Chains A and B, each alone.
Chain A
Amino acid sequence: MGAQKKGGGARVSEDAVEQSRQRLQAILLADSFATKFRPVTLERPKVLLPIVNVPMIDYTLAWLESAGIEEVFVFCCAHSMQVIEYLEKSEWYSHPNLLVRTIESHKSISAGDALRYMYEQQTETSQIQGDFVLVSGDTVSNMPLADLIKEHRERKKKDEKAIMTMVIKQSKSSPLTHQSRLGTDQLFIAVDPLTKQLLHYEEDKVDHPSGSVCLEKSLLDTNPSVLVCNDMQDCYIDICSPEVLSLFEDNFDYQHLRRHFVKGVLVDDIMGYKIFTHEIHSSYAGRIDNFRSYDTVSKDIIQRWTYPYVPDINFSGNRPLKLGRQGIYRASDVVQSRSADVGASTVIGYGTKIGNGDKISNSVIGNGCSIGSNVVIEGSYIWNNVTIEDGCEIRNAIVCDGVKIRAGAVLQPGVVLSFNVVVGRDFVVPAYSKVSLLQQPTTEDSDEELEYADSSSGTADHLSGLNLQMESKASELGPDGAGYIWEACEGAHDEEWKHSVAPIPKDKLFEITQAIDDDDTDDESVVPTSGELKSDADSINTDVNDPNDDYYYFEKEVEGTVLRAVEENIKVDLVTLEINGLRLSYNMESADCAGATFYSMIKLAVDTPHNSASELYKNAASIITKWKELLGFYVKKIDEQIEVIMKFEEMCQESPKELGPLFTQILHLLYDKDVLQEDAVLRWAEEKAGADEADKVYLKQCETFIQWLKEASEEEDEDDEDEEDD
């Protein structure tokens, strides 16, 4: 009350003087601009989803209020009506210390759009007067903000360019922890250890698979010391100066706060804006980004890291639960059978009934649920008014409001049941499936940031329509069930286990640790499994070893190219161009090209129908004659020519019956057509002279040819000498 009056007075009279007495303001984005919580978010905005039986936005608002924020702009986008309605009903609108204002915009599809909208509003009404806190409505924290804001303001006073302070928190450095805790990839940041200025920010590991980070050289020039951390966690809490809004306005392509804005500011050295970091130690901050972090943050709340925002304290008009031994929170009116076994770290809400022989552990059960007998619930999140009949098994699942699970049904790990779904009798919902009454939107309108896309308005109509459909259509969830099982969208298979509430499966865990080990030992980055190879491999080339893997594929490609060239009679130049392209993309030597080209030509000859050896020779001869230029392009050096001979020898060894007898003939042909020079043949012979008897088969075969060559070269030498003499 008093504070508000003061703030108002200051604004009217002496705004400039009373800089430090500005109202503390915050922008709360009540929209995650992501689709990770689908299908649940199709029906209810993410910020209203309950976490440990209290909507997420209540945690954020309660924290902002107690951290001394006086005015919050709640930016609503998808389901804005629901958010506004909720806030109107809650006590936040009438809160004495916190002025909650809602801003509605349906056009915004990203955080960037939202801030641009704020900026436009800003120029009209000048709501944001100074530095503000930027958070999203799914942040759970208990960190004090006052000092941080003060620190930011002081820094800003000294340095005009310091426009943002980012809150970070230490977390164990292993990617495994990141995965298992928040379902996100590792974060690499570089910070100036003295000023805490952020120099580099990199969230995704995709660019650098081996866990390396690229820093710009200039960073090292301008900063005496740089601290590179990979054990930090971004809390997504930012203290921003008003310049941030205008920056968003100026750069209309900034969408994502981190990916675009932070990177943009760091790269841009014209404006010279700086971002600083603030590390928190004793307080908690976490953002619910996906189902896995939903699970993690829930556990943290139950473990009381978020104190005083814990279930047994009434922090936002929620009814406090009673905390018992082993971290069991229970409402006072829970009806629990004596034979029910409620294990550690469990929350049970008001008006919930628990039947005989139930086993419940590590789970959150909402208000007004009724649970039958002999139900097993493990590591799951059951929201309000859920009915679970006898003998169900629920493991690591999220079950939304109003769901009915009929007797004997089983939910496998990672299942998400959206609102009012009915699971049929004895039906087994497969792992990681997402079930909703709404059908999956068929056209993924955007793979980008599009929020709860088509849900802006008529969800209700949608629903009623669906119910009609439901009755006519046999359900995907058993005969007496209702709901559609969503298919995982493409490329999201990986995300499935990463972002689900279920613990990471053992094999994936093994894979991650394996990947880390690989990074450590610096092995070759690609380790294909041999099984895959065999299934694809041709009869001739089954025993390709791993290191030759690339070469094998390259050879295949070349073969295809040559085949097509022969069939369609493409010009030699074009074929060379194509093979050169392949050579570059597979990073091959020109000798490899020669080998591969020759290989494909002979293979072509072999594949062409023939009755006798002489016919085969004819085929080969015609092809070689026709395409000698192509081959000639790659066999300019002696080494390359030797490679060709070796290749040919290899092929003959593989099919001794067909090609074997023709070795000398074809070799002679190649010599005749000037593909091979005599030096190459002679050197090949020299090399082979020392080899095993078995390897010498073809050497012996063409002994006469080599003899003849030698003589010829001597003659030539003599000729040369003669010429020189002349």
Chain B
Amino acid sequence: MPDVQSTVVEFVNKLRKRKIEGSQATAKCTVELLRSVISHQRVPHANQAAALIDAVKAVGEQLVAANPVELAVGNVVRRVLHIIREEDLSLTTAAMGGLDLLDASDDDDVDNCKGIGYPAMSAAVVAAAARSTLRPPSLQTLLEGTPESATVPYTSSSGADSESKTADKSSLTRKLKHDVIEGVNQLIHEIAGCHEQIAEQAIEHIHQNEVILTLGSSRTVLEFMCAAKEKKRSFRVFVAEGAPRYQGHLLAKELVARGLQTTVITDSAVFAMISRVNMVIIGAHAVMANGGVIGPVGVNMAALAAQKHAVPFVVLAGSHKLCPLYPHNPEVLLNELRSPSELLDFGEFSDCLDFGAGSGSIQVVNPTFDYVPPNLVSLFITDTGGHNPSYMYRLIADYYSADDLVM
């Protein structure tokens, strides 16, 4: 445990110092950390699920507090919590169903939970599986308003049922942890593979001789376009540079290296170019529960331009970017103001910054992200396929337990 604790502290430090950037990297680190937390957590005989949930929550709270802007952290923590609850539920239903049926039903459940994260499965199957296992208890807990106590007595009562058979119970305990880790592994796999999942759909969206506009840099977008290119589609890409961090330049470099026709434009030229564009594709930082998108700064402008010219505005987002929170919640921190040094050179402007003289001084605002309201988004492409903004809440219900929304 001390070993896990130190890795947690280390990760928290990295998050605090903003040393990890990009939601995918953060999500990956988080989920791997949570896996080690779970595997090192000693599980008591009673209330095993609750113990795991508490442990994950405790770590999750630290991680979220360390960098509240990086929503992927919270998303992954909630996903892991959801996996625990789900496994627990399937085990208890199995226990309720009768001990003689235990083995058979367990196998089913394992299959089911594998299906949830399993990339090859279609979205419909995943949704169905989630609905079958998750729906009833989460609705019930919602109505009762006592999230934990609703599931916990369930477990303990089931424990009381099987108290006479301790051997079965210990195997059950081990089974829960094993299943949860299995589930988390699936999640890791899913996060790692989300680019490919999304890229596979590229051929359906990018057509011959089209002009695509993108803004900033996103690995998902890069893979998406390259996948289309590999399928012998020939198209042109406009890259808005994404001031002030100019990550568009990096993307353009990569695209050229892969043999795409690339044009770099300034952010301010987006409106001028939009009439020649067939589709805008951007990578999201996070997708909110209402279908709104948090993306690199300047995205909203591009979305408005696209709407003006009726150009489809497509957002690529791995499922770890789906955030079950609503953007109008004041507790949700959506943006971060970075150092003005990305805009101005301190030395050159040091005389305008001098407050001592009493004259006016320059104020610099350098936000990292932009919010695009759902009505400007034409389509979300996630690893489970294309979705409408209005469908996001459904996807979120599949991926998260309502109990975990407020951590």
Using CB atoms and an 8 Å cutoff, list the residues of chain A in contact with chain B: 1, 62, 65-66, 95-97, 142, 169-172, 174, 176-177, 179-181, 231, 281-284, 292, 295-296, 299-300, 303-308, 313-315, 323, 326-327, 344-345, 362, 379, 503-504, 509
For window 15-62 of chain B, which residues contact chain A by CB distance below 8 Å?
16-19
The reply to whether A284 and B356 contact each other, CB–CB distance below 8 Å, is no
Given A95-B13, A181-B356, A503-B356, 19 other A-B residues pairs in contact with their CB atoms under 8 A: A1-B6, A1-B10, A96-B6, A97-B13, A142-B339, A169-B347, A171-B347, A176-B351, A179-B356, A284-B339, A304-B340, A304-B366, A305-B339, A305-B346, A307-B338, A307-B341, A313-B16, A314-B66, A504-B357
Complex Cα–Cα for A281 and B339 (A):
13
Question: A180-B357, A304-B340, A344-B363 given as contacts; is B10 within 8 A of A172 (CB)?
Answer: no
Complex Cα–Cα for A96 and B53 (A):
26
Question: A303-B364, A314-B66, A344-B363 given as contacts; is B10 within 8 A of A283 (CB)?
Answer: no
Q: B3 to chain A: which residues have CB within 8 Å?
A: 1
Question: A66-B17, A303-B353, A314-B66 given as contacts; is B363 within 8 A of A327 (CB)?
Answer: yes
Question: A96-B9, A304-B366 given as contacts; is B347 within 8 A of A504 (CB)?
Answer: no
Distance to closest chain A CB from B355 (angstroms): 5
The reply to whether B347 and A362 contact each other, CB–CB distance below 8 Å, is no
For window 348-363 of chain B, which residues contact chain A by CB distance below 8 Å?
348, 350-351, 353-358, 363
For window 315-370 of chain B, which residues contact chain A by CB distance below 8 Å?
337-342, 345-348, 350-351, 353-358, 363-364, 366
Complex Cα–Cα for A243 and B13 (A):
34
Question: A284-B346, A327-B363 given as contacts; is B358 within 8 A of A503 (CB)?
Answer: yes
Using CB atoms and an 8 Å cutoff, list the residues of chain B in contact with chain A: 3, 6-7, 9-10, 13, 16-19, 65-66, 337-342, 345-348, 350-351, 353-358, 363-364, 366
The reply to whether A509 and B357 contact each other, CB–CB distance below 8 Å, is yes
Complex Cα–Cα for A326 and B6 (A):
38
Select B346's contact among A169, A179, A308, A314, beta carbons within 8 Å: A169
The reply to whether A314 and B65 contact each other, CB–CB distance below 8 Å, is yes
The 9 A-B pairs with the shortest beta carbon distances in the complex, nearest first, are A170-B347, A307-B339, A180-B356, A172-B351, A66-B17, A503-B358, A180-B354, A171-B350, A308-B18
Secondary structure class of chain A's binding surface, majority of residues: loop
The reply to whether A295 and B348 contact each other, CB–CB distance below 8 Å, is no
The reply to whether B354 and A97 contact each other, CB–CB distance below 8 Å, is no
Distance to closest chain A CB from B228 (angstroms): 36
Q: B342 to chain A: which residues have CB within 8 Å?
A: 282
Q: A172 to chain B: which residues have CB within 8 Å?
A: 347-348, 350-351
Complex Cα–Cα for A308 and B13 (A):
12
The reply to whether B355 and A503 contact each other, CB–CB distance below 8 Å, is yes
Contacts A/B (CB < 8 Å), 13 sampled: A97-B10, A97-B13, A169-B347, A172-B347, A180-B356, A282-B341, A282-B345, A284-B339, A303-B353, A304-B340, A305-B339, A305-B346, A307-B337
The reply to whether A303 and B357 contact each other, CB–CB distance below 8 Å, is no
Question: A96-B9, A96-B13, A281-B345 given as contacts; is B355 within 8 A of A304 (CB)?
Answer: no
Q: A169 to chain B: which residues have CB within 8 Å?
A: 346-347
The reply to whether A305 and B340 contact each other, CB–CB distance below 8 Å, is yes
The reply to whether A305 and B341 contact each other, CB–CB distance below 8 Å, is yes
Q: B350 to chain A: which residues have CB within 8 Å?
A: 170-172, 177, 181
Question: A1-B10, A180-B357, A282-B342 given as contacts; is B16 within 8 A of A170 (CB)?
Answer: no
Question: A282-B341, A304-B339, A314-B66 given as contacts; is B351 within 8 A of A231 (CB)?
Answer: no
Complex Cα–Cα for A251 and B338 (A):
45
Question: A284-B339, A295-B355 given as contacts; is B17 within 8 A of A308 (CB)?
Answer: yes
Complex Cα–Cα for A174 and B348 (A):
12
Distance to closest chain B CB from A693 (angstroms): 59
The reply to whether B347 and A281 contact each other, CB–CB distance below 8 Å, is yes
The reply to whether B353 and A300 contact each other, CB–CB distance below 8 Å, is yes
Give the residue name and chain of the B residue nearest to A172 (CB).
B351
Give the residue name and chain of the B residue nearest to A174 (CB).
B351
Complex Cα–Cα for A281 and B357 (A):
24
The reply to whether B357 and A503 contact each other, CB–CB distance below 8 Å, is yes
Complex Cα–Cα for A315 and B66 (A):
8
Q: A379 to chain B: which residues have CB within 8 Å?
A: 355
Distance to closest chain A CB from B361 (angstroms): 8
Give the residue name and chain of the B residue nearest to A286 (CB).
B346
Q: A307 to chain B: which residues have CB within 8 Å?
A: 337-339, 341
Give the residue name and chain of the A residue nearest to B365 (CB).
A327
Select A231's contact among B16, B17, B347, beta carbons within 8 Å: B347
Give the residue name and chain of the B residue nearest to A282 (CB).
B341
Q: B16 to chain A: which residues have CB within 8 Å?
A: 308, 313-315
Q: B366 to chain A: which residues have CB within 8 Å?
A: 304
Complex Cα–Cα for A177 and B354 (A):
7
Distance to closest chain A CB from B383 (angstroms): 31
Distance to closest chain B CB from A123 (angstroms): 34
Complex Cα–Cα for A305 and B342 (A):
9
Distance to closest chain A CB from B2 (angstroms): 10
Q: B7 to chain A: which residues have CB within 8 Å?
A: 1
Complex Cα–Cα for A326 and B337 (A):
12
Complex Cα–Cα for A300 and B361 (A):
12
Q: B66 to chain A: which residues have CB within 8 Å?
A: 314
Give the residue name and chain of the B residue nearest to A231 (CB).
B347
Give the residue name and chain of the A residue nearest to B366 (CB).
A304
The reply to whether B13 and A181 contact each other, CB–CB distance below 8 Å, is no
Give the residue name and chain of the A residue nearest to B9 (CB).
A96
The reply to whether B337 and A304 contact each other, CB–CB distance below 8 Å, is yes
Q: A292 to chain B: which residues have CB within 8 Å?
A: 356
Q: B9 to chain A: which residues have CB within 8 Å?
A: 96
Question: A66-B17, A181-B354, A308-B17 given as contacts; is B363 within 8 A of A303 (CB)?
Answer: yes
Q: A509 to chain B: which residues have CB within 8 Å?
A: 357
Q: B348 to chain A: which residues have CB within 8 Å?
A: 170, 172
Complex Cα–Cα for A1 and B7 (A):
8
Q: A170 to chain B: which residues have CB within 8 Å?
A: 345-348, 350
Complex Cα–Cα for A142 and B345 (A):
15
A283, A295, A303: residue with the most chain B Cβ atoms closer than 10 Å:
A303
Q: A181 to chain B: which residues have CB within 8 Å?
A: 350, 353-354, 356
Select A283's contact among B6, B17, B341, B356, beta carbons within 8 Å: B341
Q: A314 to chain B: which residues have CB within 8 Å?
A: 16, 65-66
Complex Cα–Cα for A97 and B347 (A):
32
Complex Cα–Cα for A503 and B345 (A):
24
Q: B354 to chain A: which residues have CB within 8 Å?
A: 177, 180-181, 296
Give the residue name and chain of the A residue nearest to B10 (CB).
A96
Question: A281-B347, A284-B346 given as contacts; is B337 within 8 A of A299 (CB)?
Answer: no
Q: A296 to chain B: which residues have CB within 8 Å?
A: 354-356
The reply to whether A504 and B356 contact each other, CB–CB distance below 8 Å, is yes
The reply to whether A66 and B340 contact each other, CB–CB distance below 8 Å, is no
Distance to closest chain B CB from A402 (angstroms): 27
Question: A231-B347, A327-B363 given as contacts; is B18 within 8 A of A362 (CB)?
Answer: no
Distance to closest chain B CB from A61 (angstroms): 12
Question: A169-B346, A172-B350, A177-B351 given as contacts; is B340 within 8 A of A303 (CB)?
Answer: yes
Complex Cα–Cα for A323 and B366 (A):
13
Complex Cα–Cα for A97 and B10 (A):
8
Q: A66 to chain B: which residues have CB within 8 Å?
A: 17, 19
Q: B337 to chain A: which residues have CB within 8 Å?
A: 304, 307, 323
Complex Cα–Cα for A282 and B340 (A):
9
Q: B340 to chain A: which residues have CB within 8 Å?
A: 303-305
Q: B355 to chain A: which residues have CB within 8 Å?
A: 295-296, 299, 362, 379, 503
Complex Cα–Cα for A177 and B350 (A):
7
Complex Cα–Cα for A179 and B338 (A):
28
A292, A304, A503, A509: residue with the most chain B Cβ atoms closer than 10 Å:
A304
Give the residue name and chain of the A residue nearest to B364 (CB).
A303
Give the residue name and chain of the B residue nearest to A307 (CB).
B339
Distance to closest chain B CB from A307 (angstroms): 4
Complex Cα–Cα for A62 and B19 (A):
13
The reply to whether A295 and B356 contact each other, CB–CB distance below 8 Å, is yes
Complex Cα–Cα for A327 and B16 (A):
20
Complex Cα–Cα for A345 and B360 (A):
13
